[in-house]
Amino acid sequence: MPREEPLLAPRPSSEQSSIRNAEEEDALLTGERTGRSEPRRGWGFWREVGLFAWALIATIAVIVIAVVYQHESSWVKSHSKESWGPGGKPTGKRNLIFMVSDGMGPTSLSMTRSFRQLTEGLPVDDTLVLDKHILGTSRTRSSSSLVTDSAAGATAFSCGFKSYNGAISVLPDHSPCGTVLEAASLAGYKTGLVVTTRITDATPACFASHVNYRQYEDQIAEQEIGEHPLGRVVDLIMGGGRCHFLSNTTEGSCRADDRDLVSIAKDKGFSYLHDRKGFDALNGGTEAKLPLLGLFADGDIPYELDRRTQNDVYPSLEEMTRSALKILSHATEDSDQGFFIMIEGSRIDHAGHGNDPAAQVNEVIAYDKAFAAVLEFLEEDSTPGVLVATSDHETGGLAAARQLHTSYPDYLWLPGVLANASHSAEFTTKELVKYLLEHPDTDKAAKEGYTRELLRKALGIADASQEEIGSLLDPNNPIPPVYVFADMISRRAQIGWSTHGHSAVDVNIYTSSSKAAWPLQGNHENTEVGNFLADYLDLDIGTITKKLQNSEFWSYTAEELQAEVESDSGAKSFEWMGDSLGDDVRTDGLDTYHGDFKKRSFLGDDCGCGAVH
């Protein structure tokens, strides 16, 4: 019996096709077969079968290739260009500017934004420059605590590794780790550090020195001017901290020895600046000679709230930033490499430690102006570059709210109180102490009268209670006057603080270009910020670490060091990095609660974890 053709089977065409089609239609209607015989399946039939099979195979192949291509493209993007944004990783000559807002948390921005809107008469939607450039957030824990200090925080930025609180670019085993600034210097980049605190303080120290504990500032100063295993690695230094560079036989020195680092720095080729006149002679950076050491204060440069009345003595962060960028740009204009600089708004942190909201809002505004100056530089400079900025941690546990009484609080805080202050609590305290020392025999009424007038002039407080005045003048008060002054402002503004120390809150990451800093989008460990800095400049920090650990200054292998740590005598000291502090300081692993409230007063006792409670 002949096999029936499928309804839609192909049929050969001929002049009789219309007759055959009619017959087929009759068959479909009547169910009766036509008398037409089946065609033989010749070459045409098999040709069409072959074409169909080829088309089917080709389609499947195209689909497979497309899937594979899409997968490979996605992998390449996720491992190369995609992680660096649409343009891919930057190439060629470039500059990297890293800014640190020490101690600035998210609430610092909220408080400063509202303060600025009030004092400058700005609309509610007006924001800081920083607000327009937020990219992500950073997690801040150290290797020894969920609450980091500036040393461990800056080590994460400089080395790309976690370390213990107090560590200055050393790892938990007390071995040195190479820094992005050191690697940049050895790769031919010019380098710089600009801060408003002591240049030997934790953050700048972590980029150009290695010591086991942040308080070894004399040794940090020595390394910063070139007494360093790698030689001099910093070309430009601006900030405070002059006292650590002066011999202890010199007035204003805070060194423990008689070494004159200023003279040593000059012998090493540094041009030295120590006052506003010297800074102004730079002519905005056009009249500078590298290497340059600018130390403009014995200790920290005053808070911006106080500095602005002493502008003829101290340059601002914005001024130092503009000059430093101009100097480094000019120094690298004929070079194949650009520059790396770390700029820190250092005293935001100090205002947080002091719980002084008036000082802090002015420090944040000063930092915002410096940030804007960097953006302007990047727009105008001929060499491509990127600005990345973040904080090492938040300080003070700041809250833009405060409950003053047991009754349910009002929903408000009052920035006008901060606007009334013309000076910081730090400045006001110095004035009070100076008066009391100069007038030891003054009667109580006169002291109270002076204190009330000082409060009115410096802090804008005219309603001090007798209890507040008494606490300021009580020599036995365990709370120092600087904290009392700051609390008087905070209470009136209804600004809250949870601590005079640091907190574990995530901090913001900012950038001049999300395209250039794409890998930092989202939430990251602080070490990822450090890794980005090195990757952006194509630096091999691992090689620098090996140089440091294999240098003549480093006398122990990792195995020998571990043996010393495990021995009864504890770890030995290392000449160039200072004492390793022994095993009584926690370097790795978190502390635990051990009954503090039951066992002791929790005031000033050493818990053995590397921190003072």
Question: Which are the catalytic amino acids?
Answer: 150
CA–CA gap between residue 229 and residue 226 (Å, rounded):
8
Backbone Cα Rg of the chain:
35
ω into residue 204 within 30 of 0, thus cis?
A: no
CA–CA gap between residue 533 and residue 437 (Å, rounded):
50
Residue 292 in tokens: 């340059």
DSSP-assigned states of every residue in 149-211: -HHHHHHHHHHSS---TT-BSB-TTS-B---HHHHHHHTT-EEEEEEEEETTSHHHHHHH--B
Do residues 388 and 346 lie in contact, with contact meaning Cβ atoms separated by under 8 Å?
A: no
What lies within 8 Å, CB to CB, of 407 at 6+ separation is: none
CA–CA gap between residue 173 and residue 310 (Å, rounded):
45
DSSP-assigned states of every residue in 309-358: GGTTTS--HHHHHHHHHHHHHHHTTTSSS-EEEEEE-THHHHHHHTT-HH
Q: Is 218 exposed, middle or buried (0-12, 13-18, 19+ CB in 10 A)?
A: buried
Do residues 496 and 65 lie in contact, with contact meaning Cβ atoms separated by under 8 Å?
A: no
CA–CA gap between residue 151 and residue 24 (Å, rounded):
92
Do residues 498 and 399 lie in contact, with contact meaning Cβ atoms separated by under 8 Å?
A: yes
CA–CA gap between residue 545 and residue 210 (Å, rounded):
11
> Where do we find the tokens 């809150």?
505
